[in-house]
Structure 1
Amino acid sequence: MCICMESKRRRGGFVSFPIGRTNKLLCDCRVNRVNCKRLLLFAVVAPTRPFVVLTREPRKDEKLASLLKSKGINFVSIPCVKQEKTEEFNDFVQSITNLEDCNYSWMVITSPEAADMLIEAWKLSGKPTLPLLAAVGKSTANRLHNLVEKHDHLFIPTIATGQSLAEQLPILKENAKVYYPTSALASPLLEKILRERGFLVMRWNIYTTVPNEWTQEQQKLAESCSIVAFGSPSAVRVWSERVAYQPVSACIGKTTAEACNKFGFKLIFSAKEPGLEGWTSAIEEAVHYCSKLHHDS
């Protein structure tokens, strides 16, 4: 799905489309290209062809990298952000030791990163019994299956967003309590909706997202790439602070696409469906678009 962003319609320029709409006729922007002959760790780059920058930590992009490689798409890893535990993490570890006695109905997990932090905390606390788990989508749910006895004990909303999870989470009893370990940067929308529905929410900010340092070589590659694949609004912010040039962007979902719009990206491809496959398709569309520009120029 392509989203061209511009405040005004211009002759021969960008045409504005709202988030969530598609259009076969894309804008006529020209994208910088790079002839890079260096083979980097965790990268496949070929001369005279558009290449994609992956902005998450390499260990988190292993499956995405494998899919892109199978499709012949050139990529390089330049992580924009990394996750770090907050001071609350140790308190959270202690808190879940006896959570079974606290009568919580649900524990809500809204990202793979939060799932990883929960698993680490669960092991450190002696693998205690947890409340029923709710995951924002399949990728997050897959991380949590080791924590549930049966897969049907894991709630997943019909749409992989925090808002949908909050709106659809089953109310098991009056004044049901929810444990919510998340990022310190996470929006308050989910807990706001849950409280409006009558849930009692205990939020824990167990990790945060911080900028990742770049080498000079990574900076140069970032400044000359054709496409950048964003997996979070935080990555969009870091990129915008470091790179004046805005390439074509391929986003994991609507929230990240909206961040690209906010930071002035003009040509945005966003996943039509949540998950890795949808994101891969968005990257593919961006690559095809840039390849066509290269062929026509």
Structure 2
Amino acid sequence: IPCTSSTNVPVVKSKPHRWGINRSETRRYATSTSTPLDELLRIGLTREEGKNSQLEELLTKHPMVAARNMELSIKETPCIQHADGVDYPAFLELLTSGGLEGLGYLIITSPEAARVFGQALDESYVSVKEVTQSGVQLAAVGGATSAALEDLGFDDVFVPSKATGEILAAELPVLEGYEGEDLPIRVLYPCSAKAADTIPTQLEARRADTSTPLFQVTRLNTYDTVPVTLPNQLISGPSDNGSFDVLCFGSPSAVTAWLENVDRVAAEINTAVEINIDEDDGLSAGNGNVIACCIGKTTAQACVGSGRWSDNNVYYPEKTPGLKGWADVTAICLGDILERRFWE
């Protein structure tokens, strides 16, 4: 489902980290090992190294891929990696000092945030049982995040009807026993330094009446997302066809990191990045000549807002954000590529 939003999302520059290429990470799902390169559908998975296997499995087993006998070449191409955020020490201090007492909610909005939460529990020697006994209620943005919390041992997690921060903020229930002087409900939000303020802003805008806020949110930037410097051979030059037909982006940070790599390679070969979008196919060397398949609307807006993609070459699951919807729109995108090739 192509994204039609033109919301401008600024590209943020940050210090890159290097990643060593492992050529064995390219996997072919083809009926023949001699399938010509121009018949393969080349897909790059851009999440942090080791965190792309679920999407890869969903793609290789997708009914549309099987029905059309698609020949896939899939490569894990991490554009980002994670590091401790500036508030991680404060998060550890809060856990060890009993700071969960008196909180109403602890909101986790990604599997990575859940992993960092688990790491913090281990480092602070706080058990899942102690968290539960503190009375704090956990909330997750979607199914994948909820599953990550369940893997840590939490089985009572609020999940909204749709996996977005806006819907979570709108649907988060007022806990029983909170009224009058007990309000506002205190909420702890440990998240990425690059996360938008959507959840805190919308939660604190909810009111019990004209003057009494329902929620008070404390945000802690417990981890950060930093770009990875990719090998030059993975980046399309202005005059070639690139290493990929499709890149699967799981966050705006991955989009930013990919474009930084495109710009870097262009600078190294002393060529200006061409960001004028071709009227025929909507592709541009300014994006590496790739179509973007995004996990959700926010990431799709980052692609369109960069000015490097046309709307028709940015796909995202409008109604079902998350892994399954991501795989579904990627399969649709691959089908569209086959249609284009047929008519070329």
What TM-score comes out, normalization by structure 1 length?
Answer: 0.82
In 2 relative to 1, CA 2–75 (structure 1 residues): closer, same or farther, beyond 3 Å?
same
| Partner SS, residue 113 of structure 1 | helix
Q: Work out which of the residue numbers 211, 235, 241 in structure 1 matches 2:227.
A: 211
- In 2, are the aligned partners of 1:148 and 1:154 still within 8 Å (CA)? no
**Structure 2: which 5+ residue stretches go unaligned?**
7-21, 29-34, 66-70, 207-212, 263-285
* Equivalent-residue separation in structure 1 for 2:255 and 2:5 (angstroms): 19
- In 1, are the aligned partners of 2:233 and 2:243 still within 8 Å (CA)? no
* AA at the equivalent of 1:282: V
| Partner SS, residue 23 of structure 2 | coil
Q: Work out which of the residue numbers 37, 50, 57 in structure 2 matches 1:66.
A: 57
- Kindly indicate whether residue 212 of structure 2 is the aligned counterpart of residue 166 of structure 1: no
Q: Greater relative contact order: 1 or 2 (C-alpha under 8 angstroms, separation 6 or more)?
A: 2
* Equivalent-residue separation in structure 1 for 2:86 and 2:259 (angstroms): 28
- Kindly indicate whether residue 315 of structure 2 is the aligned counterpart of residue 269 of structure 1: yes
CA shift, 1:18, in A, is: 4.8
| Partner SS, residue 225 of structure 1 | coil
Give the equivalent residue in structure 1 for 2:270.
Answer: none
- In 2, are the aligned partners of 1:227 and 1:250 still within 8 Å (CA)? yes
| Partner SS, residue 174 of structure 2 | coil
* Equivalent-residue separation in structure 1 for 2:137 and 2:117 (angstroms): 13
* Equivalent-residue separation in structure 2 for 1:63 and 1:240 (angstroms): 24
* AA at the equivalent of 1:133: L
What pairs up with 1:133-282 in 2 under 5 angstroms?
133-147=138-152, 151=155, 153-172=156-175, 173=178, 174-197=183-206, 198=213, 199-220=215-236, 223-243=242-262, 244=286, 245-264=288-307, 265-266=309-310, 267-272=313-318, 273-282=320-329
CA shift, 1:223, in A, is: 3.3
* Equivalent-residue separation in structure 2 for 1:74 and 1:2 (angstroms): 23
Cα deviation, 1:54-83, whole Å, max 9, x if unaligned, reads 111231111111222334532212211111
* Equivalent-residue separation in structure 1 for 2:41 and 2:153 (angstroms): 43
| Partner SS, residue 41 of structure 1 | helix
What pairs up with 1:25-64 in 2 under 5 angstroms?
40-45=23-28, 47-48=37-38, 49-64=40-55
CA shift, 1:147, in A, is: 4.4
* AA at the equivalent of 1:2: P
* Equivalent-residue separation in structure 2 for 1:79 and 1:224 (angstroms): 14
* Equivalent-residue separation in structure 2 for 1:111 and 1:210 (angstroms): 16
- In 1, are the aligned partners of 2:252 and 2:302 still within 8 Å (CA)? yes
Give the equivalent residue in structure 2 for 1:12.
Answer: none
| Partner SS, residue 50 of structure 2 | helix
Cα deviation, 1:157-185, whole Å, max 9, x if unaligned, reads 11111111111111221211111100111
CA shift, 1:156, in A, is: 0.4
Give the equivalent residue in structure 1 for 2:280.
Answer: none
What TM-score comes out, normalization by structure 2 length?
Answer: 0.71
Q: State the identity %.
A: 31
* Equivalent-residue separation in structure 1 for 2:167 and 2:100 (angstroms): 29
**Structure 1: which 5+ residue stretches go unaligned?**
4-16, 20-38
- CA RMSD after TM alignment: 2.1
CA shift, 1:148, in A, is: 5.0
CA shift, 1:102, in A, is: 3.0
CA shift, 1:52, in A, is: 1.1
CA shift, 1:237, in A, is: 1.4
Cα deviation, 1:207-248, whole Å, max 9, x if unaligned, reads 111101212333359934211111111111122233223421
Give the equivalent residue in structure 1 for 2:275.
Answer: none
* Equivalent-residue separation in structure 1 for 2:119 and 2:165 (angstroms): 22
